[in-house]
């Protein structure tokens, strides 16, 4: 709410996008008492795994939804600049969308994992299957490689999960979350 207030005061428009399976488009099915990351009981996980089984990527579909929404926004409103901002899994969607669409001017992500490699550690934390990109590590690289593709545009990361395995020149890291410094986020978007 604080971020929306700060942007509103600055006359900056915010559009909240709900790609498939998120927000108002999220299925209402729920199994109480089970883990969110559980492949059998977690609704989002189940949708992601079912997509994998039919040769689709829920993550890829979400990126396509964001790119479509941005194209429609540009056609209808003709904004001077477009920034994509995402938190956690939505941060990954925002970053991949910016890597694919060079007309996105700014990218800001919060609490986004900075590498997929920790998923392979012995003490790995659960990870949302809906944010896995099939064959990315094998065929392209890791998240830092995706962020590097966004260059020369800068990527602002706030309160990231983990560390970048290598320096990425166009990434500006910040330890605090957006809601702790919404004016800083606005300054970055307008930068």
Q: What is the average pLDDT score of the chain?
A: 83
pTM of the model: 0.83
More confident residue, 135 or 67: 67
Residue-wise pLDDT for 8-47, tens only, equals 888 777 787 777 666 665 556 555 555 554 544 556 666 7
Contacts for 74 with CB less than 8 Å, ≥ 6 apart: 82, 103
Average pLDDT (93-101) is 96
d(CA 180, CA 97): 25
Reported as type and span, the H/E element at residue 155 is strand 155-158
What pLDDT score does 19 carry?
74
d(CA 131, CA 151): 22
What pLDDT score does 21 carry?
64
Residue-wise pLDDT for 105-132, tens only, equals 999 999 999 999 988 888 878 777 778 8
Average pLDDT (47-76) is 84
| Neighbouring C-alpha atoms within 13 Å toward the C-beta of 3 | 19
Percent helix, strand and coil across the chain, each to the nearest 5: 45, 10, 45
What pLDDT score does 157 carry?
93
Reported as type and span, the H/E element at residue 84 is strand 83-87
**140 and 172 Cβ atoms separated by less than 8 Å:** no
């Amino acid at each position: 709410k604080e971020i929306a207030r700060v942007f509103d005061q600055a006359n900056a428009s915010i559009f909240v996008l709900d790609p498939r399976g998120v927000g108002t488009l999220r299925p209402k099915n729920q199994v109480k008492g089970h883990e969110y990351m559980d492949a059998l009981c977690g609704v989002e996980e189940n949708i992601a795994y079912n997509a994998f089984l039919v040769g689709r990527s829920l993550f890829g579909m979400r990126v396509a939804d964001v790119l479509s929404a941005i194209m429609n926004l540009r056609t209808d409103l003709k904004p001077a600049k477009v920034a994509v901002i995402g938190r956690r899994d939505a941060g990954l969607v925002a970053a991949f969308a910016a890597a694919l669409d060079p007309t996105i001017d700014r990218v800001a992500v919060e609490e986004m994992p900075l590498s997929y490699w920790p998923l392979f550690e012995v003490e790995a934390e659960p990870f949302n299957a809906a944010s896995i990109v099939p064959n990315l590590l094998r065929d392209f690289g890791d998240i830092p490689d995706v962020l590097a593709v966004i260059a020369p545009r800068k990527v602002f990361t706030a309160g990231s999960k983990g560390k970048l395995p290598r320096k990425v020149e166009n990434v500006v890291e910040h330890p605090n979350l957006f809601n702790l410094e919404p004016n800083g986020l606005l300054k970055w978007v307008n930068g």
